Chains A and B, each alone.
Chain A
Amino acid sequence: MNTVIDSLQQFLQYTGFANMTVQHIIMIFIGIAFITVAIKKDWEPLLLVPIGFGMIIGNIPFSEGLQIGIYEEGSVMSILYQGVRYGWYPPLIFLGIGAMTDFSALISQPRLMLIGAAAQVGIFGAYAIALHLGFTPAEAGAIGIIGGADGPTAIFLSSKLAPELMGAIAVSAYSYMALVPVIQRPVMLLLTTKKERLIRMKPARQVSQKEKIIFPIVGFILTAMIVPSGMPLLGMLFFGNLLKESGVTKRLAETARGPLIDVVTILIGVTVGCSTQADVFLSGTSIKIFLLGLLSFVIATTCGVLFAKFMNLFCKEENKINPLIGNAGVSAVPDSARVSQNVGREFDKNNHLLMHAMAPNVAGVIGSAVAAGILLSFLG
């Protein structure tokens, strides 16, 4: 009888209930909140559902030594997490993004690329502020990249520069990407006049297939030659786009933008969520990271909108840029371009800014990968 009771007591000590702390409960509730927001509000559900459920998985308490935790060498979760820790998943995501992105808007209006460059100032603004808050330059660089509004890039850079902060940085980046409409709209309205919001942009010219094929090759050679450290991201982005545009690798392009990106998104979401274990995640540092992430988003949007206004000073009347597309310089594709379209239509129902906004938006993807490469070459 005693043996049975002892066994039961031993078993109970192994259960999650016996090891549960308040921090674990908080993290599980945050995970449930992510899932709820994704389902109810439809905010980035493809990311927030896996991350949210990953948070729940990662915060079920257990006794160490069973090789089940994400930080325990040899466990299944630890093996899956290697893609995040060593930065394998982000380039694969970029391959899929390249294979699903139509760069026509950018090719037909290359001047809008500069707005994508201006929005990257958010990354470096947050970097400087993070230094003042006491983060090391490597940590500040990893935090600043949240301003690029690019989850895979944030994971890629933080895995190299500050692996201990990766969970907070990834969750922060993806959360703000989901909140793009909420964060960007007030900034856009604050910085533009009613007259500017009504500007109608000239329709973009048609782009030939040859131009679309040349684009990824020339784009990759030029960017990778200048910033070789951004090669894993840029290489996969442009390669994916070549698969799409070449017209002869349809199956590969479909796999890259379909099953492959879906599998990697599932793995990246669940493992990133799982890495947010309460003892590592719930700290003052995480709160600082969240605030800095928000700040970098605001700076990036501000710089994008202001730069569009600045460009207008040099444009003829018929070539004016609607500054509402400035927010799209951050690389949350296509969410931020959609915000430009929606805000534009609030003031003129027949003004469709989506295609114009896609140009700085995809330039933002290139810009944030370049920015990550620069930070890596300075600090990595």
Chain B
Amino acid sequence: MNGFMLSVNMLQASAQVMHKSAEMAEKDPHGIIITAVSVAVVFSVLIILYFAYSLIGKSFSGQIQWKGRKASGRKTSGKGTPGPEEAAAIAMALDSELNGEVYAAIGTALHHYLNDMVHDYESYIITIRRK
């Protein structure tokens, strides 16, 4: 019975495809309209996704100041991790508790990392001034 229903549904579907196809052949014999509309839709979908992810990316990398969040005036790291102040506080807490130079070094490294002071990539342009 299920198989019969499936076959009936298939026949109905193929009849619908044939009908729509014939209709489209009449309306758009060269396929220009469907091509133009389809390309526009594909681009629109991916452009919308582009804007959505750009926005999400900016909000995660701290380039957008949301309402209610204090503007510190400093560039944040964008890693969703504490800022340099927190890093310094961590270093101080570790230092007071364990009194080790290692922790101060970790604090400094964290500060540099969170402030984007670590050299991530080169500009690939090397200029040599000849005398």
Contact = CB atoms under 8 A, between A and B. Distances in A.
Interface stretch (A10-18, A45-53, A170-178, A209-217): A209-217
Nearest to A115: B46
Q: Which residue, B29, B38, B48, B123, has most C-beta atoms of chain A within 10 A?
A: B38
B8 interface: no
A370 B42 contact: yes
Given A211-B56, A218-B52, A137 B21 contact: yes
B64 interface: no
A219 B46 CA distance: 10
A378 B38 contact: yes
A61 B21 CA distance: 35
Interface residues of B, number: 46
Contacts of A374: 37-38, 41-42
Contact of A111 (B25, B38, B44, B50): B50
Nearest to B7: A73
B60 A370 contact: no
A378 B31 CA distance: 11
Contact of B45 (A138, A227, A380): A227
Interface string A55-69: 000000000000000
A106 B49 CA distance: 10
B10 to A, nearest CB: 8
Contacts of A111: 50, 54
A283 interface: no
Interface string B27-43: 01111101101110111
B80 A208 contact: yes
A223 B42 CA distance: 10
Interface string A124-140: 11011001100011111
A262 B130 CA distance: 62
Given A127-B35, A219-B49, A223-B49, A138 B20 contact: yes
B29 A110 contact: no
Chain A binding surface, main DSSP class: helix
B18 interface: yes
A161 interface: yes
Nearest to B80: A208
A205 B45 CA distance: 24
Contact of A226 (B21, B48, B60, B124): B48
Contacts of B120: 203
Contacts of A3: none
With most chain B CB atoms within 10 A of its CB, the pick from A117, A205, A218 is A117
Contacts of A222: 45, 48-49, 52
B49 A366 contact: yes
B78 interface: yes
B17 A380 contact: yes
A333 interface: no
Interface of B: 6, 10, 13-14, 16-18, 20-22, 24-25, 28-32, 34-35, 37-39, 41-50, 52-54, 56-57, 60-61, 78-80, 120-121, 123-124
Given A127-B31, A128-B31, 11 more contacts: A118-B43, A123-B38, A138-B18, A138-B21, A161-B21, A200-B124, A208-B80, A226-B41, A366-B49, A367-B46, A380-B20
24 contacts: A106-B53, A108-B57, A110-B50, A117-B42, A123-B38, A124-B34, A127-B35, A137-B20, A137-B21, A137-B34, A160-B13, A161-B17, A200-B124, A208-B80, A215-B53, A218-B56, A222-B52, A226-B48, A318-B123, A363-B46, A370-B41, A370-B46, A375-B34, A379-B24
